[in-house]
Structure 1
């Protein structure tokens, strides 16, 4: 990596770190950080009589995590956690970085997100353990361009403005795709945008392309706004994972196992009865049941962490470290703890 590339990447990391510090301060100052939460839970869904612990779940409202949402809406979380004498709270945050900050500020015990944000959290010193998969899917993350864009290939992105969330797994995909054409992130103008802001920017054509995940891919294709330029097929597995704080997991291993059982029940329902599963959660993502079932064809839902998943996560860590995204190297073998698998 040349000096210019390292300097550019370091600049993005510094900006992201500054934002993270501000968010931690905001969260630490609020016993209930409602301004940063997309939705607060119906408390009755997580309450169990006779519980001896309450696990605080930091959620995200995206179809990538559908098996967890099915477990929530269908009552599997409540049922399985009751067997471990646990209740839960559920607050749905607007992004993965906000989940990280909620955990870092001591407001959550468990969060779920894509591969890269979890690795970044560990590299900043958060004492967390990845305890399960949530899903993976090479086609659930993609580069989109306006439907009428003259851009025909990733190589055409050179010199163009691309919107994506810095520090997200979208950044990794973009870097991988550019590298196939001998390009780097320095060859595009990067705009650090949230998913919703990416959509607006693409619609008003203030960016030439975005790198975004589901449900946005399907919605933008269906309404004729955008088309897929490239996705992760063959180059990025795209793992979604669940992590617990290490202290909580060690103190309450049966709760972690119960959580994983509940999520696997959600995955099983998606696979066996997608109509019922979609009816339960499509409203949570702002899509129709039919759109959600289309999205699910691009994802595999499972809590199991297989060797292919672990290898893919190691590749993400290697990329992030070599490109100056991480504050310190992360030992993925120590980050992942498969002892909680059922």
Structure 2
């Protein structure tokens, strides 16, 4: 089975829960090997040769014959772009690839097989630590509530502090791990204070119901059904309540190509507009995407949208980079990565103007 399937070319039928989950999760695990270097001219402050091109800070004229290779998961990018009409009339060719998992998408970035895709806030931390070529070019926040800490049935665990010395299930190297680290840090604990049970997100609820772990990080649309099916299980009080951070990412190699720079600027603007359309047309998007394409009930689609929208875009600046640095430092202090990293190296602010203009 190939790691990616071209959009529209015989994608296999998916079960409703896994399809919905793949549309929601920005769960990306980066291998700690392979590096393309940081490149030049596109640092975290958006400085360099490309940033001096015109008022936008990037070229806007897309040369004929330009192609942008976009990596997606579960239609998260493509569906809003298509249904909003933002995928029509691009001044460049778009080559879509749909990946079955985050690790396969990041593998494609390492292989120079895609130019742009999306991730949550954990992969840039691991990328900065490992030296992988990665550049965050747009950032948005989704409401809290996508993740929760829950107990096994019949557990006497009530608060995050009660997790000390307990077996906690999550997916290492993903947003689930970041959520756990933030939750533990709130009460002065670190990952070393709990016993790690590393599982795929889709396997966690089953393992927790069997008692294979004392508690776990669960993600919608699996979290709510787990609590319904296990009435003696419950949410853990005091867990992280910060918004979920998402990124559009590319590589410094792509940013060194003026044609790719221009195409990426246009793509960023279209994604901002498509996101706004999706958030303003919940019923239409639910019907046309989740019901008709993903084949899940409307209530499941609306649950997913309620947990992941509206999307609030924020600039790449000292505040957003500072938040990412705090997460990186948390990974370091918890022993997940070996030494302090400068997360600003994987942020590039040149497309802030594209985001701002698209919101007007």
Which shows bigger deviation, 299-308 or 264-273? 299-308
Name the CA distance, whole Å, in 1 between partners of 2:143 and 2:224: 14
Alignment TM-score, normalising by the size of structure 1: 0.74
Which residue pairs with 1:15 in the alignment? none
Q: Deviations over 1:223-263 (max 9, x none)?
A: 55764324421xx4331111101221332122112221222
Q: How far apart are 1:115 and its partner, in Å?
A: 0.6
Which shows bigger deviation, 197-206 or 285-294? 285-294
Give 5+ residue unaligned stretches, structure 2: 11-62, 355-360
Which residue pairs with 1:331 in the alignment? 342
Any idea what SS the aligned residue of 2:114 has?
A: coil
Name the CA distance, whole Å, in 2 between partners of 1:309 and 1:290: 33
Which residue pairs with 1:27 in the alignment? none
Q: How far apart are 1:306 and its partner, in Å?
A: 5.9
CA RMSD of aligned residues (A): 2.9
In the comparison of the two structures, how many residue pairs are matched?
Answer: 294
Moved over 6 A (4+): none
Q: How far apart are 1:160 and its partner, in Å?
A: 1.9
Which residue pairs with 2:8 in the alignment? 42
Q: How has the CA–CA distance of structure 1 residues 192 and 245 changed in structure 2, closer, same or farther, with 3 Å as cutoff?
A: same
Q: How has the CA–CA distance of structure 1 residues 261 and 164 changed in structure 2, closer, same or farther, with 3 Å as cutoff?
A: same
The correspondence for 1:295, drawn from 294, 304, 308, is 304
The answer to whether the Cα contact below 8 Å between 1:36 and 1:93 also exists between their aligned partners in 2 is yes
**2:180 is aligned with 1:171:** no
**2:116 is aligned with 1:150:** no
Name the CA distance, whole Å, in 2 between partners of 1:88 and 1:76: 17
Which residue pairs with 2:38 in the alignment? none
The correspondence for 1:85, drawn from 62, 84, 92, is 92
Superposition pairs of residues 226-305 of structure 1, within 5 angstroms = 227-230=234-237, 231-233=239-241, 236-251=242-257, 252-282=260-290, 287-299=296-308, 300-305=310-315
Q: How far apart are 1:132 and its partner, in Å?
A: 0.8
Which shows bigger deviation, 115-124 or 190-199? 115-124
Q: How has the CA–CA distance of structure 1 residues 187 and 78 changed in structure 2, closer, same or farther, with 3 Å as cutoff?
A: same
Name the CA distance, whole Å, in 2 between partners of 1:219 and 1:281: 22
The correspondence for 2:331, drawn from 312, 315, 320, is 320
Superposition pairs of residues 186-225 of structure 1, within 5 angstroms = 186-221=192-227, 223-224=229-230
Any idea what SS the aligned residue of 2:337 has?
A: coil
Q: How far apart are 1:335 and its partner, in Å?
A: 1.8
Q: How far apart are 1:264 and its partner, in Å?
A: 1.5
Which residue pairs with 2:42 in the alignment? none
Q: How far apart are 1:36 and its partner, in Å?
A: 3.6
Name the CA distance, whole Å, in 2 between partners of 1:288 and 1:149: 32
Q: How far apart are 1:40 and its partner, in Å?
A: 4.0
Any idea what SS the aligned residue of 1:232 has?
A: coil
The answer to whether the Cα contact below 8 Å between 2:208 and 2:214 also exists between their aligned partners in 1 is yes
Any idea what SS the aligned residue of 1:270 has?
A: helix
Q: How far apart are 1:203 and its partner, in Å?
A: 2.9
Q: How has the CA–CA distance of structure 1 residues 265 and 227 changed in structure 2, closer, same or farther, with 3 Å as cutoff?
A: farther
Name the CA distance, whole Å, in 2 between partners of 1:247 and 1:328: 25
Name the CA distance, whole Å, in 2 between partners of 1:131 and 1:53: 19
Alignment TM-score, normalising by the size of structure 2: 0.71
